[in-house]
Structure 1
Amino acid sequence: MKKILKIFLYTILGFVGLIVVSLAYMYVSSSIASKRNMADLGPRATELMIDGLSFRDLNKNGKLDVYEDHRQSVEARTEDLLSQMNLEEKAGLMFITMTGIGSKGELSESKTIFNPFSIMFPANSEFVVNKKMNHFNTLQSPEPIELIKWNNNIQELAERTRLGIPVTHATDPRHGVPNAPGASIYTPYFSKWCSYPGFAAIGDTVLMREFGDIARQEYLAVGYRLTLSPMADLATEPRWWRINGTFGEDAEMSAMLTKAYILGFQGDSITDQSVECMVKHFSGGGPQEDGIDSHFPPGRQAYPGNNFDYHLIPFEKGAFPANVAQVMPYYGIPMGQTGEDVGFGYNKEIITGMLREKYHFDGIVCTDWGLVTDQNILWLEGKPASAHGVENLTELQRVKKIIDAGCDMFGGEAVPEMVVELVNSGQISEERIDISVRRILKEKFKLGLFDNPYLTEEPISIFGNKQFQEKGRESQRRSLVLLKNENNILPLAPTTKIFLQGFDEEESKKYEGMTADLKDADVIILKLNTPYDPDAARYLVEKIFHQGSLEFPEKEREKLLKLILSKPTVTVMNLERPAVFPEINKESKAVIGDFSSQDDVILDLIFGKFKPTGKLPFELPSSMAAVLNQSEDLPYDSKDPLYPFGFGLTYTDL
């Protein structure tokens, strides 16, 4: 036995030692590579004073070039810079991917366990200096001052490259209440709003545009100039995990909110005060076959209801009239809709034939993340390349097909050397690359990044703006949907003794009638999340997605019903997808549909501090059988829904 324990101990120590040595090797090698990259940089741009005006000498040639002159037109500046760029710089411009932020706002250079993101992603200088890249999105949420410092540090890094092309910093949505990896990034100092289906439950374009304008101001304060949103997809397939990012299943509602959202962020035209939008996912990512998200194989979209055109409405009436700057196609194959069954980003009929020629969109088209290469984290398999329909092609051939389809940028990829190879081998002309580069440069000029990409490091008062915070809370209040109110149990009297389950403990202490003993309670208030099947995940990245069944497993359902039947119960269902809960609904005295409101807002509704006014942005199915029998591409089509689209009660005595 002692021998076995000794062997086990030595094995563990050996494994730990191997990890320590590996981490030490990564730290040392990354530090050496970083120093080498920094040595390849030139000086910072000097200031040129001409006619009493200040200009940045970005190419360090001691004279004012057209692209450095903010008095010149965007077109003239673009053509001048394009003429000075070499092929490697053009190729680098066509890629955007995730990168890390140093723990205190410094550049993320050396790999260290104290900053996991430095291990996950190559050094900032590897992207900027070696690969000539200058578009990045980040996943971290450091304090504002640290985010500002990083912005200034990476802009300085970019300034010291040959032509000084500035960085465009992008982000996924950050204004939700919960932390929802893969869909939004929790950022505590931003104002907190309802989820996107919640905006559809409200149906107010004025509030939607106010959100866009407030979010724009908060983004500008820390350097975000591109938001990877909104989602103009429709929630016609209830199993799809990304429903929580849509404006529901009604195309007209989605179109109105999409337009207002974009105008809030961009304004009526792009200026140095805009945050550009990358609307997604053309031509509508909602009809996922069997609800399986096309991040992963088999990556198909189904149209059994022959309803492809319905999913175009939010783009036709929303994104395009708002002059959205950028468009992202989705991963999936629109089965049977074009002459070639390949994913949207590879599909020339979709990108060139429809987006470019039919809708005359001449902005940037950027693929979704990871269409070309497998997305792995160290030695772990994160996600295979979403090369749906072209799995047999090499990575180089995939890059060529995406460019041939009409796309300008590659999301989640960092292989500009493949574009260089394609041009040098004659497979793609440099003139074709120039078409995309022109589009990309124009947006950087419009945003004013060439003139001043730096931020002040003074304390930021905007994050304590009470008006912004209150507007966010207004959205939370207005999004709540009262689904059931048997015998007008709601609103509760202030003296009601309540037992809370599923709520934050600190919030619950604020209510005088709260009791920790179920026996003493008059009413149970139960907060639940939409069910999902954790066993549905096949890949590491897929584990963060809430996919699969929409009903509670039998044992969990029985346990909940036992609690609900013990006392009159108010059930609050967080509807990140259309939950299936007929038994729970039947036995609950009241049911509230929640779109990620804060706990105190929900409790204020329950105690009658305001009236519910929200309406369901999608129907709630009565069973999983109804879900399985509905069509992925059709709205409002499940049999005998528990609650139909647009349903919502209010209080009659307030």
Structure 2
Amino acid sequence: MEKMIYKNPNYSIEDRVNDLIKRMTLEEKVMQLCGQLPSSFVKDGKIDYKRLKVIAKCGYGRITQYSLVGLTDIKRIRSFSNEIQKVFVNETRLNIPVILQSECLSGYPSEGGTIFPAMINLAASWAPKLVEDMAKIIGKECKDVGINTVMSPVVDISRDPRWGRCYETFGEDVYLTTQMGINYVKAIQNEGVSCIAKHFLGYAETQGGLNTAVTRVNNRELYEVFATPFEALDKVANVDGMMASYSEIDGLPVGCNKVIINDLLRKTMNFKGLLTSDGAAIWKIYDYFKLAKTYEEAGLLAKKAGLDTEIPIGGAYKYLGNFVKNNQLDEQLIDESVKRVLAIKFKLGLFENSYIKENVINIEKVQEKRNLSEIIAEESIVLLENKDNILPLTKNRKIALIGPHADNKRYPIAGYTYPAYIEMLKSLKKNVKKDVSFNGIIDEEQKDEDTQSFNSIYSILNEDDWKKLDDEIHILDEIGAVSLKESL
């Protein structure tokens, strides 16, 4: 009987990876480098098993934005996690489990998840221990529903307030960002969930404060300022992965920039982990930066430069095998990336423990978790000196609360949260022309035949889900949201 080393946990991860990759066909390897959206096989709150089996035929790397299947129902996502893994583990040739990943910057972003303040609030607390305490809860809640990879933390150095995503970052201080990031990664990965730190590199320093623009930074500053948190997360916290940014450096977006990926990240920083694309970044190489004649060719450029995987879907990467067959791509480059993907799956123990216990839901101590969120919010308040009583803060004064956010329960809650996801899905459903996009997901979804029949990610939800989401006030009350007027 043949010795199946990759199925034996007594062997090292390296031995198991090498054994497994020798057994894989080219197509099976390529599919490990691809992402997929749950909307490709979930519709109206149910799994389309026929569709899922087609998708899983040669295995798959990861399903991203996975928390959406449980947006209104924590029991559903837990059940789906096991059902999806059963298909990959039991009905594929090599029984390779799939990674289920989500955005989890400020908490598990669906029903039952604890909502925490934005990263800029945590930075204002100057308390890395609070980040550790928060991330530990996020890790537990993610693992409890089957999510085994989070696309967090954001460790961009943010120095331009015009950039609209400053709240996602820990701000402008390199040392502070580094310490906060280390504590976040250590806490989550200690719970058995992988982290993908983002956005490598210089993403918040784009020209004019515009998103997805040009980063004009000299090489020394690029390394000593912007790369420092990422290097520390690797060397100190052993972060499993990083995400390449959309931005352009020296004429090339990072996703196909060999100098940034190969020379800086791999050689200078000696990073051995996974480097994934941002959402629709490969498509942008073709459509936005216009560096390739086709979407597929953009995938070839990215792969040659050293980008390991493509998300949210593998619309270009699934064709990499064709370039290998045409002698345009060395299969060794495919193998290097597949090894990084498999190493994470073995590290997470997915081959031995593919399923979660459905009868245990980690919703206990809800008030205790909310108390931590409140403590973080309080510690983030920065009170400047009221010199010469320039502010009328005496007891006999009245303060006017003016504007749309004065009595708004939604306003104090950051992005990457349950309420933010609700707004996003509602906008997508309402905007039938699809000129609203969610970080590139819709851009790619419309280009890929694998998801065409399901139209859009909002189709994941059923009629009852939409009725629940329409009652936004009840949801905000349920999660304990309070307006500034109510607080005062």
Q: TM-score, normalised by structure 1?
A: 0.59
User: Which among 435, 441, 447 is matched to residue 540 of structure 1?
Assistant: 435
SS in 1 for 2:205: coil
Partner of 1:478: 379
Aligned 8 A contact 2:141 2:362 in 1: no
Mapped pair 1:136 → 2:63: yes
Partner of 1:58: none
Query: Residue by residue, what CA displacement relative to the aligned partner does 1:507-565 show, whole Å, maximum 9, x if unpaired?
Result: 79xxxxxxxxxxxxxxxxx99999xxxxxxxx9245889xxxxxxxxxxxxxxxxxxxx
1:189-208 equivalent positions in 2, closer than 5 A = 189-208=112-131
Q: Per-residue deviation at 1:482? A: 3.5
User: Which among 308, 312, 315 is matched to residue 222 of structure 2?
Assistant: 308
Partner of 2:326: 425
Query: Residue by residue, what CA displacement relative to the aligned partner does 1:8-37 show, whole Å, maximum 9, x if unpaired?
Result: xxxxxxxxxxxxxxxxxxxxxxxxxxxxxx
Q: Per-residue deviation at 1:303? A: 3.4
Aligned 8 A contact 1:151 1:454 in 2: yes
SS in 1 for 2:196: strand
| Alignment partners' CA distance in 1, 2:92 and 2:221 | 49
Aligned 8 A contact 2:116 2:373 in 1: yes
Aligned 8 A contact 2:78 2:356 in 1: yes
Cα gap change, 1:434/1:316 in structure 2, threshold over 3 Å: closer, same or farther? closer
Partner of 2:149: 226
Aligned 8 A contact 1:476 1:601 in 2: no
Aligned residues with identical type, % of pairs = 24
Cα gap change, 1:397/1:445 in structure 2, threshold over 3 Å: closer, same or farther? same
Aligned 8 A contact 2:101 2:148 in 1: yes
Cα gap change, 1:72/1:527 in structure 2, threshold over 3 Å: closer, same or farther? closer
Mapped pair 1:166 → 2:97: yes
| Alignment partners' CA distance in 2, 1:316 and 1:83 | 31
SS in 1 for 2:86: helix
Aligned 8 A contact 1:247 1:253 in 2: yes
1:635-646 equivalent positions in 2, closer than 5 A = none
User: Which among 214, 237, 242 is matched to residue 160 of structure 2?
Assistant: 237
Aligned 8 A contact 1:504 1:599 in 2: no
| Alignment partners' CA distance in 2, 1:146 and 1:263 | 29
| Alignment partners' CA distance in 1, 2:322 and 2:353 | 33
SS in 2 for 1:433: helix
Aligned 8 A contact 1:105 1:148 in 2: no
**2:194 maps to amino acid:** E
Query: Residue by residue, what CA displacement relative to the aligned partner does 1:401-457 show, whole Å, maximum 9, x if unpaired?
Result: 211111211122323441110111111222221111111111101101011211122
Q: Which has the higher strand share?
A: 1
Aligned 8 A contact 1:333 1:388 in 2: no
| Alignment partners' CA distance in 2, 1:456 and 1:260 | 28
Q: Per-residue deviation at 1:300? A: 1.7
**2:198 maps to amino acid:** K
Query: Residue by residue, what CA displacement relative to the aligned partner does 1:195-236 show, whole Å, maximum 9, x if unpaired?
Result: 010011111111111111111001010011111111111221
Partner of 1:73: 12
Aligned 8 A contact 2:280 2:312 in 1: yes
| Alignment partners' CA distance in 1, 2:216 and 2:11 | 49
Mapped pair 1:467 → 2:368: yes
For structure 1, which segment, 350-359 or 77-86, has the greater mean C-alpha deviation from structure 2 after superposition? 77-86
Q: Per-residue deviation at 1:318? A: 4.0
Q: Per-residue deviation at 1:83? A: 1.4
| Alignment partners' CA distance in 1, 2:328 and 2:142 | 40
Cα gap change, 1:332/1:497 in structure 2, threshold over 3 Å: closer, same or farther? closer
**1:163 maps to amino acid:** L
| Alignment partners' CA distance in 2, 1:313 and 1:488 | 39
Aligned 8 A contact 1:200 1:253 in 2: yes
Partner of 2:275: 365
| Alignment partners' CA distance in 1, 2:9 and 2:231 | 34
Q: Per-residue deviation at 1:393? A: 3.4
Cα gap change, 1:432/1:305 in structure 2, threshold over 3 Å: closer, same or farther? closer
Q: TM-score, normalised by structure 2?
A: 0.77
**1:91 maps to amino acid:** V
Partner of 1:278: 196
Q: Per-residue deviation at 1:253? A: 1.2
Q: Per-residue deviation at 1:391? A: 2.7
Q: Per-residue deviation at 1:470? A: 1.4
User: Which among 341, 348, 354 is matched to residue 453 of structure 1?
Assistant: 354
Cα gap change, 1:505/1:124 in structure 2, threshold over 3 Å: closer, same or farther? farther
Aligned 8 A contact 1:224 1:275 in 2: yes
Cα gap change, 1:492/1:529 in structure 2, threshold over 3 Å: closer, same or farther? farther
Cα gap change, 1:433/1:392 in structure 2, threshold over 3 Å: closer, same or farther? closer
Partner of 1:255: 178
Query: Residue by residue, what CA displacement relative to the aligned partner does 1:334-355 show, whole Å, maximum 9, x if unpaired?
Result: 13xxxxx210010001001000
Mapped pair 1:317 → 2:232: yes
Cα gap change, 1:502/1:598 in structure 2, threshold over 3 Å: closer, same or farther? farther
Q: Per-residue deviation at 1:465? A: 3.4
SS in 2 for 1:257: helix
Q: Per-residue deviation at 1:492? A: 6.2
Partner of 2:266: 356
Q: Which has the higher helix share?
A: 2
Query: Residue by residue, what CA displacement relative to the aligned partner does 1:246-295 show, whole Å, maximum 9, x if unpaired?
Result: 1111112111111111111113xxxxx4111111111221111112211x
**1:440 maps to amino acid:** V
**2:231 maps to amino acid:** E
Cα gap change, 1:370/1:543 in structure 2, threshold over 3 Å: closer, same or farther? closer
**2:252 maps to amino acid:** V
Pairs aligned (count): 424
| Alignment partners' CA distance in 1, 2:34 and 2:437 | 24
Larger Cα Rg: Structure 1 or Structure 2? 1
Query: Residue by residue, what CA displacement relative to the aligned partner does 1:49-69 show, whole Å, maximum 9, x if unpaired?
Result: xxxxxxxxxxxxx97622112
Partner of 2:140: 217
1:572-611 equivalent positions in 2, closer than 5 A = 600=482, 606=488
Unaligned runs of 5+ in 2: 416-433, 441-478
Partner of 1:347: 257
RMSD: 3.5
Cα gap change, 1:424/1:527 in structure 2, threshold over 3 Å: closer, same or farther? closer
Cα gap change, 1:484/1:599 in structure 2, threshold over 3 Å: closer, same or farther? farther
**1:169 maps to amino acid:** L
SS in 1 for 2:278: strand
Query: Residue by residue, what CA displacement relative to the aligned partner does 1:97-153 show, whole Å, maximum 9, x if unpaired?
Result: 32237468642569xxxxxxxxxxxx5444322x63230112511321100111011
| Alignment partners' CA distance in 1, 2:8 and 2:153 | 33
Partner of 2:80: 150
**2:295 maps to amino acid:** E
